[in-house]
Structures are given as C-alpha cells and as structure tokens.
Amino acid sequence: MEEKSSFLIRPALDGHVVGHRKTGNETYIVNLADALALRADTWPIAYVDAGTVWPHSGGPEIRELTTRAPFLRIPFELPSRARRDHCDLLHVQYVAPPFAHLPLVTAIHDLSFEDVPGLFSRKTELRLKLTVRMSARRSQAVITISEFTRARLVHHYGLDPAKIVVTPLGVGERWRPLTSDDAASRLREFDPPPRFVLAVGNLHPRKNIPRLIRAVAAARNAGAGDLQLLLAGQRWWRSDFVDRAIEAADASGWVRLLGYVTDDALTALYSAATVVAYPSLYEGFGLPVAEALACGAVVVASNTTSIPEVAGNAAVLFDPTDETAMAEAVATAATDEELRTSLKEAGPLQAAGFSWSRCADLTVEAYRLALSGR
C-alpha cells in the first residue's frame, strides 16, 4: 500500500451487499474498495452488515451497521454513521438516502427496469423507477460502468452528461487461463462433461436462458456434437421459465444447474468450457464476458446494450432474440478450430484493458467532481 498523502478523500461506501452473494453488485464494491485502499489519496470506509467478513485482507476500513432493514439503514443509519466518522462523501449503489448532508455519488450500473418491461415484478419495477431517478438527480456525481448506460441515464433522467463518470469494471488477477490439469483439480466436485457450453449469471429473465437452451439443442442437432449446457447462477425471480424450457426441449439429460459457483471454480469452468455463452438481453457491462475472455475462453455473446463494449473483436456476437443466429454462433464456436484459436488469443488481450485500478482512478475523478460542488 502507498503511503497516504496529507490530502485524503474519505469516501463512505455502502457495502451492505458484501457477503450476501449479490454477484455483480458485490463484486463491484469489494474490488473497488480494495483498489481505493491501495491509493495514496483515498481512505475508504466500507459500511457492512454486522458479522460480515471482508473477502480480502488489506482492504478498506470496515464499520458494521446495526440495522438490516433497508428502509432504516439507507435513509438513517448509513448517512448518520458516515457523518460521525468524518467522511467526505457517501458512495452508494442505485439508491441514495433522501437526506445525507454529505455529497452523494451514486453508482447506477444499468437501467433495465426503465428500458425493458417485465424483467422485474411490477412492484419492484415501480420502486426502482422512483428511487433510482430521485437518487440520480440528488447526487453531485453519478457513476456508471459503460457508455451505453451513460447514454440511457441522459435519455431517461435528463442528467447533465458532465455529471456522469464512466468507470468500466475490472478483471482481477485470478481470472487467467488454467492448464487442463489445474482446471480438472478445481472441478472434481462438479465432474464436468468433456464438452460443454457454460452460461454464467443468475437465472433472471433478462439472461435469456430459455432461448439458449433451445439454441444449444439446435446446435447439437446441427452437428456440433454432444455438447452439454452448464448453468452457473442462482435461481431468481421467474426462474421457473428455465425449468419449463428444459422440459420442453427434453434437455434434462444434458442441461445442469450448478447454482452459485465460487470464483475459483468459475475460473476453472471458464478455462474448461468448449464455449462460454452470454445471451443476455440487457446488460450495464457484462462482467462474465470480460472474465471469460481473460481466461482464454471461446465466447459467444449478445450484440446488444453494453456487451460489444466489453467483448470488442474477441467474441462471436449474435442477436439474442434470434435463436437461429444463436445456435449458429454456438455451433461455429464449438467446431471451427481456426476461429477457436484466434478467439483464445484475442480474449486475454481484450480483457487486459479492464482493471480495478483504472476503475478506481475514474471513481476518484467522480469523487472530485462531487466535492467540487460542495
């Protein structure tokens, strides 16, 4: 860690998602806080639920909150504790307290609830539309993770573009190609098949898994071989659609639901997969794409929203609403050896452009923007 400078920014980070397997949101705040803790000009304090153990050593200063109920924690305890600890600003994800008495920086990773009806329950959609809009407009700076989402924030909320700072996510050192022996040793408990397509993400409607099941079935029938499909992600709202798609495709013999998978196992799955498929209908960034590329995986992914920003020319892109195009992408990626070699070489090079230190650099720019208007 660098020696801290005499001029420090002390950001208060809302870390209530840490330890709760909140996937993308948790990955973001943990890795960003760790990167900020390494800097000479920031001293981050992360506020977490009581009993939470921070995943890594040498990270931010940790403070426990006593209130778990969000309608009490976010409006009252979090800003109160941040002021008491002499923090300079409050950094939250999506929802900010109505009265913070500190400069606010709100990270809004995507606006799927504004752009795509039906991805959330009606109650959740209405709550998000109200609270996120208010949070964005009250904040001195808004952080987002792609140029795509930046444009959507301007479109939906009429924000001044100068108020929005794009801070692309990072890919940590753990995400790297593994030898076949190393991958196999990490995956003993899963006993993966010799050839498989891997899909990563919670089983949420926007992840588009039913179409992927049908596309893999078509690829198998078109000569791609005995590909199996492994789904690494927790069940989510309306995940029964996935069960129905498996049943309708008579795919129970070659589709496996792995549930939540640790990062160590996920690195091995990326390295061992024949193809990593990311058919999401909507993403603010698409971190699994970057992680898979860093591991040298052969990736096929949607050509929509933010995903092309992450994939660059290192993946095969397709229309996620076109099952025929998806099946062709899977089959080609699984069988074209020349293509596979080029993608495996291109992936780590593309992923190298995403680092948590760069994310921290850009986040500090947002902090300075917020503090300049204090």
* Of residues 179 and 23, more confidently modeled: 179
Mean pLDDT in residue range 124-145: 96
Q: pLDDT tens digits, residue range 6-54?
A: 569 999 999 999 987 656 899 999 999 999 999 999 999 999 998 999 9
From 73-82, 149-158, 280-289, 314-323, the region with the lowest mean pLDDT: 73-82
- CB hemisphere CA count around 349 (13 angstroms): 9
DSSP 338-372: HHHHHHHHHHHHHHTT--HHHHHHHHHHHHHHHHH
List the chain domain ranges. Answer: 11-170+355-372, 180-351
pLDDT recorded at residue 73: 84
* Pairwise CA distance, residues 180 & 271, whole Å: 8
**Matching fold, domains 11-170+355-372 and 180-351:** yes
Tell me what pLDDT residue 59 has.
93
Distance CA 245, CA 272 (A): 25
Asked if 186 and 268 touch (Cβ cutoff 8 Å), the reply is yes
Write down the pTM of the prediction. 0.92
Residue 4 has pLDDT above 70, yes or no: no
**Interval 205-229: pLDDT, tens:** 899 999 999 999 999 999 888 999 9
Q: Tell me: the pLDDT tens digits for 317-368? A: 999 999 999 999 999 999 999 999 999 999 999 999 999 999 999 999 999 9
* Number of C-beta neighbours around residue 238 at 10 A: 14
Note the pLDDT of residue 22: 58
Q: What is the pLDDT of residue 297?
A: 98
Topology of the domain covering 11-170+355-372: Rossmann fold (3.40.50)
The domain defined by 180-351 carries CATH number 3.20.19.10: no
Residue type, position 149, single letter: T
Query: CB neighbours of 173 closer than 8 A, spacing ≥ 6?
Result: none
Assess whether pLDDT exceeds 80 at residue 5: no
**Quick one: the chain helix, strand, coil %, rounded to 5?**
45, 15, 40
Residue given tokens 């898979």 in the structure block: 292
Please, what is the average pLDDT of the chain? 94
C-beta neighbour count of 118 within 10 angstroms: 10
Q: What is the mean pLDDT of residues 268-293?
A: 97
Q: What is the mean pLDDT of residues 235-254?
A: 89
Whether 44 and 58 have beta carbons less than 8 Å apart is answered as no
Which pLDDT score is estimated for 236? 75
Q: Single out the residue of 298, 111, 107, 77 nearest to residue 206, CA to CA.
A: 111
Of the CA atoms within 13 Å of residue 140, those in its CB half-sphere come to 20
Q: pLDDT-derived band of residue 240, with 50, 70 and 90 as boundaries?
A: confident
Looking at per-residue pLDDT, the higher value among 89 and 120 belongs to 89
- Residue 70: band (very low, low, confident or very high) from pLDDT cuts 50, 70, 90: confident
| CB within 8 Å of 286: residues ≥ 6 apart | 278, 280, 301, 306, 307, 310, 311
